[in-house]
Structure 1
Amino acid sequence: MNKRARMALTAFGLAALAGTVAGPALADGTSLAAIKQAGVLKIGTTGDYKPFSYKGADGELVGADIAMAKELADTLGVKPEFVMTSWKTMLDDFKADKFDIVVGGITVNPARAEVGNFSVPNVSDGKRPIARCIDQDKYTTLEAIDQPSTRVIVNPGGTNDKFAHEKLAHATIEVFPDNKTIFDQIAADKADVMVTDGVEADLQSKLHAGVLCPVPVKEPFTHFDNAYLMQKDDALKQAVDAFVTKALADGDWKAKLDAAMK
């Protein structure tokens, strides 16, 4: 991983960031007691964001957050049940109680914190561009990207989509529906650049070695945390926070993330 772009893995003292303080249980929400009574933890995930949540060659969900979610369910003494969602529908699915918790590189933001509780963060990152290696020096600033001749590509409904439409007024923005193959569009010269989470820019440059490269920006365009979003229940938040904090402290989370980056 690029040294400048290396993520700061956070273990303690971040629980108060961006709406992570626990609130009272929702009247129609999911409580830890209800999860244990049912014997199942319903886990929402998009399954299209390597290294956090994606489908392997056999079609099974894998990734650092998938492994963590399975361990979390085991810690709670229940079975994990994965429920597929998308970046565009995730928040509506969450409000509809289709799952108890959402994992898979979920960015902490006010809209999500308003309807649920975030766990302590497990990743600190920032938005950075990725482009074809032959063009990487063309897009080192937002001003350089935000030109009518630049073809910016984004996945629908997530923070990349939001960032592009808020920050890029002049560039041509294409919303591409398949997050699993979106980087192939840049490699095939059907798009020029994508501004995405730094960990994804670094990973996709490894997966497309010699073709796609992280753009050498002076610093990320944004700074944010990733965490797990769960229904508002104090006991559930306390249990998830304790689980994540321990995984950060003993190196279990880092080991899972490193394995998924290969």
Structure 2
Amino acid sequence: MRKILGALLALAMAAPSWVMASDQALWEKSTLHEILQRGELRVGLEAGYMPFEMRDKKGNIIGFDVDLARLMAKTMGVELKLVNTQWDGIIPALLTEKFDILLGGMTITPERNLQINFSDPYIVIGQTVLLNRKLAGTVTNYAQLNDPKYTIATKLGTTGDIAARRYLPNARIHNYESEVDAMIEVRNGRADAFVYDQPYNLVYSAQFPDQVVHLSEPFTRESLGWGVRKGDPDFLNWLNNFLRQIRDDGVYDALYKKWFENTVWLKNVTG
């Protein structure tokens, strides 16, 4: 018995050094460690999703997500590099290490979570409808569009597309590569409505009040998160703590008001 107890005691005393070595190895493989070593945070997004990320008149990418990314890099003490990526290839680009984090207004879904991990939600939104002005007063609720006589525009690969097919199965659904392409169809009358995220639709309706009508009541509820590669608890832990801190110190609220409660920035954005 004494020999057994002695062996267990020796093992217990040796365990901390073994655990520390294991933790150090995991840390050295962490994306966060690589970012600090490189001196640069690479953020993947797709410019065109107002007010999260879009280009100003000088061609610079600006927006709510961009300000958050800039704050992340500043907190880490590194430079920021924005990697503009097509939406339908943005998860594969993250997985093949084209950038370190996906920070582009992505809805957390079980299907996406099979491929990547998400931070805690940093904002909650919902799907709404932008109508061609000719339907003002005729259509007052998204459910009325569930009719074969209506054509619904959506952006390919988005939760707006999924929501339109789920809630409006009887309508004709047409996919487009970008939000701009879809909305041009609505404004020109070739599509009756556009189903997309509430923040974007709110801003767009403010830009073109004579051409579109916003049914602003969301008919879905969606949490957006920052995407990272699997198997990286250190990076995920840092991101969640970063988010908690900027909410606690009021920085998050200031950025939210800048981009979602004020449209002054619209004058600096290309049409």
- Structure-1 separation of matches of 2:137 and 2:93: 40
CA contact (8 A) 1:152 1:172 kept: yes
In the alignment, is the contact (CA less than 8 A) between 2:50 and 2:199 conserved in 1? no
Q: Which residue of 2 aligns with 1:61?
A: 61
Alignment correspondent of 2:225: 227
Taking a change above 3 Å as real, the CA distance of residues 96 and 216 of structure 1, as seen in their structure-2 partners, is closer
Amino acid at match of 1:120: D
**SS, match of residue 48 in structure 1:** coil
Shift of 1:153: 0.4
Letter aligned with residue 230 of structure 1: V
| Partner residue in 2 for 1:214 | 214
The SS at the match of 2:93 is helix
Whether the 8 Å contact between 1:46 and 1:87 is mirrored in structure 2 is yes
Higher relative CO (Cα under 8 Å, sequence separation at least 6) belongs to 1
Name the SS for the 2:174 alignment partner. strand
Correspondence 1:36-75 to 2 at 5 A? 36-75=36-75
1:205 is paired with a residue whose SS is helix
Q: 3-state DSSP class of the match of 1:89?
A: helix
Q: Alpha-carbon deviation of 1:52?
A: 0.4
Which residue matches 2:11?
none
Question: Does the C-alpha gap of structure 1 residues 194 and 65 become closer, same or farther in structure 2, counting only changes over 3 Å?
Answer: same
Q: CA deviation at 1:175?
A: 1.2
The TM-score with structure 1 as length reference comes to: 0.81
Matched, 1:205 2:205: yes
1:259 pairs with 2:242 = no
Structure 2 counterpart of 1:182, which letter?
A
AA matched with 1:170: N
In structure 2, the partner of 1:183 is: 183
SS of 2:242's equivalent? helix
Greater mean deviation of Cα atoms: 231-240 or 145-154 = 231-240
Query: What residue in structure 2 maps to residue 98 of structure 1?
Result: 98
Structure 2 residue 83 is matched with structure 1 residue 77: no
1:141 CA drift (Å): 4.2
CA contact (8 A) 2:132 2:187 kept: yes
Unpaired stretches in structure 1, ≥5 consecutive residues = 1-24
CA distance in 2, matches of 1:72, 1:112: 23
Aligned counterpart, 1:17: none
Q: 1:185 to 1:175 in 2, by over 3 A?
A: same
Is 1:166 aligned to 2:166, yes or no?
A: yes
Shift of residue 30 of structure 1?
5.2
Flag the structure with larger Rg: 2
Check the 8 A contact 1:64/1:253 in 2, yes or no: no
Name the CA shift for 1:108/1:52 in 2 (closer, same or farther; >3 Å).
Answer: same
SS at match of 2:51: coil
Q: How far, CA to CA, are the matches of 2:248 and 2:72 in structure 1?
A: 15
Give the conservation status (yes or no) of the 8 Å contact 2:129–2:214: yes
Change (3 A) 1:181 1:255: farther
Q: CA RMSD in A?
A: 2.3
Partner residue, 1:15: none
| Residue-pair matches, total | 235
What is residue 124 of structure 1 aligned with on the other side?
A: 124
Give 4+ residue runs of structure 1 displaced > 3 Å after superposition.
136-143
